[in-house]
Amino acid sequence: MELFFRSGSPIGTARVHVDGARRFVTVQPSCGKCGGMGVGPWRQDGGRCYQCGGCGVLPARNEKVYDAEALAKLRATQAKRDATKAAKQAAAEAAAQAKVDAAAEQFNAANPGLIDWVRAKRGGFFESIAEQFAKRGTLSDAQVTALVRIREQDAARAAQGTESQHVGVVGDRHRLVLRVRLVRSFESMYGLIWLHVCEDEGGNVVVYKGSKELAARGETVTVDATVAEHGEREGVRQTIVKRPKIVAA
């Protein structure tokens, strides 16, 4: 009768020990660490394999062997176990998704239109919020508060017709009259860097980040500057400028 290891490979001519109903074959596995070479690219001990001590094999052990029928039975049991596990996992995933869906429904009832508004916005902040919502079906109170505030600001700007627009042509120099809304300075590997968030006369957001301090917060300054980029941050269009030259303070 042909016998097999649990892996399904035939035992060949190996000697079989019998212990009651069990049958074993003594195997001496070759060392996986050094591939049976006994040495490898290791610094200490002249490269001697630390797993097998240089002999290339691991300690002998008894492995159970099976006839074809017993092996088929084992495999069927394993397949059944795998199927049960997969079904359980699928059920758990479905239950988790149902929970998220229920939470989302509740959230949308409490905050009508908020998530639709978030999904329609561009920018990493909104994308990250939408992603979190898809995962959890809800948002934190702090997130809701922040979003509601931004949405109100959006609505107010739209109502006044002062929603920030991009200014000028990218690459061109333009004369801009800027009121500084926010200034921050920080050390960088290039020295002190000034960040200015400004508004031009049309209420459009203009940002300058660089080595020059333009003006203090609340002050107005006239500059000639090159438009570096037309961007957007938290849903507000902003124009990034570089190389500003102060014309009048």
Does position 140 interact with Zn ion (CB under 5 A)? The reply is no
Choice from 3, 31, 180, 207 touching Zn ion (CB under 5 A): 31
Does position 30 interact with Zn ion (CB under 5 A)? The reply is no
How far is residue 33 from each of residues 40, 53, 57, 155, 185, measured CA to CA in Å? 8, 11, 10, 65, 55
Question: Closest separation between CB of residue 45 and Zn ion, Å?
Answer: 12
Question: Closest separation between CB of residue 46 and Zn ion, Å?
Answer: 13
| Antiparallel, parallel or unpaired: β 236-248 and 205-210 | parallel
Does position 34 interact with Zn ion (CB under 5 A)? The reply is yes
Question: Closest separation between CB of residue 56 and Zn ion, Å?
Answer: 6
Residue (59 or 161) nearer to Zn ion, CB: 59
Residue (31 or 167) nearer to Zn ion, CB: 31
Which residues contact residue 16 at a Cβ distance below 8 angstroms, ignoring those fewer than 6 apart?
A: 3, 23, 24, 25, 65
Question: Closest separation between CB of residue 32 and Zn ion, Å?
Answer: 8
Choice from 52, 150, 198, 205 touching Zn ion (CB under 5 A): 52
Does position 223 interact with Zn ion (CB under 5 A)? The reply is no
Strands in 16-19's sheet, in edge-to-edge order, are 3-5, 61-67, 22-27, 16-19
- From CA 237, how far away is CA 55, in angstroms rounded? 70
